[in-house]
Structure 1
Amino acid sequence: MAQPTVGGVAAYVAAAVADQAARGFEVTVACPDGPLADHVGDAHRLWPARRSPTRSVWREVRALRRVVDEVTPDVVHLHSSKAGLAGRLAGLDATVLFQPHGWSWYPAQGMCSVAALLWERRAARRADRIICVGDGELERGRAAGVDARYAVIRNGVDLKRFAVAGDAERAAARRALGVRGGPLALCLGRVTPQKGQDVLLSAWPRVVARRPDARLALVGDGTPDRKVPRGVLTVPAVADPRPWLVAADVVVLPSRWEGLPFVALEAMATGRSVVASDVPGLAEVVTPDVGALVPPEDPRSLAAALAERLADDCPRTAAEGVAAARAATAYDADVTYAALAALTLDVAGFGAPPVK
């Protein structure tokens, strides 16, 4: 079960479905119509659910239960907070795995945040395992009092698709994308408060003051809630992010919270220096040798880290790119999905997974 059907969650589900189908699993994906449904094809069953909790939640619970009754699965894997809410309210007669992909109280405010945390504490035992995508997500869950049977299966990157890109490939990618001029910083992801593009836009004039020919590309759906300063390109979401990663000198993730973002891993595998917020999920992958961690919501520190790496022939930027590519090999997607298949079978009592 999955909602949302775009972005990192959808990419994870699609990859997991492909891996498990190759192992001989019979996989059904219950989700709303959209890109994920299109991707999984005949495996899709319609689950009409909104992304955020609304008064329709009990109708969504009943719809989910109908799908489960029709499919009669051995294991139900609930991806992200909305599926986790509906699936655990439904009282399903199956082994239940819940994967938050970022805890539900992160984006909430005020009493909604309190309610989300109380729900996660109460519902934790309604899942046979809660799967965290990184150590930071697990630590934050435990620190918040979510007492659960946890497993950590770190997100992974397709190392064959996201291979190291050198200077010649970077120049070709820039020509193809129509990017001209000086060094390029890339922020890749849906424009939301979580991803912190507003902080980056506040920082950017300080970067341009030190490097007037620098460019920033914001690639992702959504509209910034403030004026876009000089030197910033806004580009809608793209199906394949690799050309933009190849074109960039530095990838920046000014997020307020994360699980363990694919963008960071893809940037590292491509051989790019990464500047990111010092938050769980980023702090565990952006080590000092692969980039810089800066305090979240601190435009001045963010600008300083970016300006340094966008300077002419900065040796640190190149060295961090080399170290980043080396570090990315510890996050192989094949290992991620093999571990997920093994856990799924183990929790359900089926033993070791078949080889693909």
Structure 2
Amino acid sequence: MKLAYLVNTYPQPSHSFIRREVQALERMDWQIHRFALRSARAQLVDQADIAEDGRTEHILEHGLWPILRRAIPFAARRPRAAVRALRLALACGARGAGGAPGTGGRLRHLAYWLEGAWLAARCHELRLPHVHAHFGTNSATVAMLAAEIGGLRFSFTTHGPEEFDAPRAHSLGEKVARADFAVAISFFGRSQLCRWADVRHWQKLHVVHCGIEPWRFPAPAALPEGPPRLVAIGRLAEQKGFPLLVEAMALVAADLPGLHLTLIGEGPFRPLLERQIASAGLEERITLTGWLDEAAVRDRLAQAHALVLPSFAEGLPMVVMEAFAAARPVIASAIMGVPELVSRDTGWLVPAGDPQALAEAIRAFAATPPDRLAAMGALARDTVLARHDITAEAEKLAALFASGGRP
């Protein structure tokens, strides 16, 4: 079967889970045509992401006039559907006006209508009957409008937190009502869709986890010798809470003189973090690496005793799954879908935004005997391999595509 995938910006270093999902479906003989509104190729360091960028058709790179030449004649041949979609775009724009970043008003939604008409035309050319969007934001809006104009089917996966920060502005209820089905990556995420969808449509809401490729995580490395080592992974931005982690590291520095943190990622908060680290005198205790490819990330996990996730908002983070697959316990904020995976047997959960609680969890981790850390890591690995195998999760998604949303 043939299928279109649509993402706003793809691929990105932090979105490798979409690539894994697409490739898992292709191993099941699904033919996937990848669309994205734009590329982030300047940020890509992993060769798998760079190759994926070459397999993706980036809509805005065609330029305005080619987009118009494909979209407008296609819409003109379907005037009633095009007008319905235009009214839908304007209604969504009215809800989105003044909303969170990435929502937008009527003018932005006119652009989404144009992108939707182009996508519908392209799907007809390629004989792609169904569009699946990742994220319930603008990509799902474009997919919904393409479906309305072109008579296509569509579905979407929500991740959080962006969709749940502005559910009305993102017209989540409207999208669920019109979609064949909607996917959440955690039961927490499904509960948030239930809040904004009519109860009649709850049966359309399904949980399909993001997955790992188990063969990339063979028998895990033994815990390293020496003082405690932590690793944190993520975009250096506000919702990840890394300034709070630096604050917690400063609180425990005197008690744990050998403790070291490796922080993997890049983003707008890097200058702030560098200043904060220098001000606290932690230059020898915290290493900022920038983005690394997947092999290097697995290597840093193997060199650490645990992962730390101080986020203020998350869906169900891939970094937790990857740490578990490497048999490393996790210190994490007790937010959103995280407690569905992390428990007291596999890590430490702390209140988000509390540097003292995070510092106490770090102390508890550092005081845990190596054999107990190893046992926690072994259980974590068993848990993630049972719940987040990408092949098993892609099979769930394939069943939904094949059945029109009936599992």
* Fold shared per TM-score above 0.5: yes
Query: Hey, what does 1:48 align to over in structure 2?
Result: 60
User: Does residue 1:14 correspond to 2:72, yes or no?
Assistant: no
The counterpart of 2:220, out of the listed 139, 158, 165, is 165
- Deviation per CA, 1:243-273: give whole Å up to 9, x if none: 1111111101111222221111110010001
**C-alpha distance in structure 2 between counterparts of 1:47 and 1:163, whole Å:** 38
CA contact (8 A) 1:120 1:146 kept: no
Partners of 1:243 and 1:82 in 2: how far apart? Answer: 35
Q: Residues 133-282 of structure 1: matches in 2 within 5 Å?
A: 133-144=185-196, 147=199, 148=201, 149-167=204-222, 170=224, 182-222=227-267, 223-224=269-270, 225-226=272-273, 227-228=276-277, 229=280, 230=282, 231-240=285-294, 241-282=297-338
What is the DSSP-based 3-state SS (H/G/I as helix, E as strand, rest coil) of the residue aligned with 1:194? helix
Give the Cα–Cα distance (whole angstroms) in 2 for the partners of residues 8 and 258 of structure 1. 16
Equivalent position of 2:159 in the other structure: 101
Aligned pair partner of 1:295 in 327, 335, 351:
351
- Secondary structure (helix, strand or coil) at the match of 2:25 reads helix
Cα deviation for residue 128 of structure 1 reads 1.3
- Equivalent residue, structure 1, for 2:90: none
Q: State the Cα distance separating 1:138 from its structure 2 match.
A: 0.7
Greater radius of gyration (CA) = 2
Contact map agreement 1:164 1:325 (CA 8 A) in 2: no
Moved over 6 A (4+): none
Q: Could you tell me whether the CA contact under 8 Å between 1:157 and 1:265 is conserved in 2? A: yes
Contact 1:133 1:260 in 2 (8 A): yes
Instruction: Tell me if structure 2 keeps the 8 A contact 1:197–1:254.
Output: yes
- 1:68 — aligned with what? 120
Deviation per CA, 1:271-316, whole angstroms, max 9, x where unpaired?
Answer: 0010111112101000111001111111111111112212374543
Q: Answer whether contact 2:261 2:286 (CA < 8 A) is retained.
A: yes
| Structure 1: gaps (5+ residues) | 172-180
Query: Structure 1 residues 309, 24: CA separation in 2 closer, same or farther (over 3 Å shift)?
Result: same
Point out the more displaced range, 228-237 or 33-42: 33-42
Aligned-partner SS, 1:213 = coil
SS of alignment partner, residue 288 of structure 1: coil
Counterpart Cα distance in 2 of 1:105 and 1:18:
25
Cα deviation per residue 1:179-236 (whole Å; 9 max; x = unaligned)? xx73211110111222211221221112222211111111001134341241111111
State the TM-score, normalizing by the size of structure 1: 0.84
Q: Deviation at 1:77?
A: 0.2
Change (3 A) 1:122 1:104: farther
Cα 1:115–1:97 shift into 2, 3 Å: closer
Distance 1:300 1:120 in 2: 36
Call closer, same or farther: CA 1:124–1:220 in 2, change over 3 Å.
same
- TM-score between both structures, scaled by the size of structure 2: 0.74
Distance 1:42 1:183, change over 3 A: closer
Q: C-alpha deviations, 1:36-71, integer Å up to 9, x for none?
A: 98433664222229x934554432441243133122
Pick closer, same or farther for the CA change 1:205–1:315 going to 2, 3 Å. farther
Aligned position for 1:339: 396
CA separation of 1:143 and 1:114: change in aligned 2, threshold 3 A:
closer
Q: Report the CA distance shift for 1:324/1:121 in structure 2 as closer, same or farther (over 3 A).
A: same
Is contact 1:200–1:254 with CA below 8 Å preserved after alignment? yes
Structure-1 residue corresponding to 2:33: 28
Q: Secondary structure at the match of 1:131?
A: strand
Q: Distance in 1 between matches of 2:207 and 2:354?
A: 30
- Cα RMSD of the aligned pairs, angstroms, is 2.7
Which deviates the most, 219-228 or 37-46?
A: 37-46
Q: Aligned in 2, Cα 1:137/1:344: closer, same or farther, shift over 3 Å?
A: same
Residue 339 of structure 1, CA deviation? 1.4
Q: Amino acid of the residue matched to residue 206 of structure 1?
A: L
Contact 1:2 1:10 survives alignment (8 Å): no
Structure 1 contact 104–116 (Cα < 8 Å) conserved: no
Distance in 2 of aligned mates of 1:275 and 1:322:
16
Distance 1:7 1:215, change over 3 A: farther
Instruction: Using the TM superposition, name which of 304-313 and 268-277 deviates more.
Output: 304-313
**Amino acid in the other structure paired with 1:301:** A
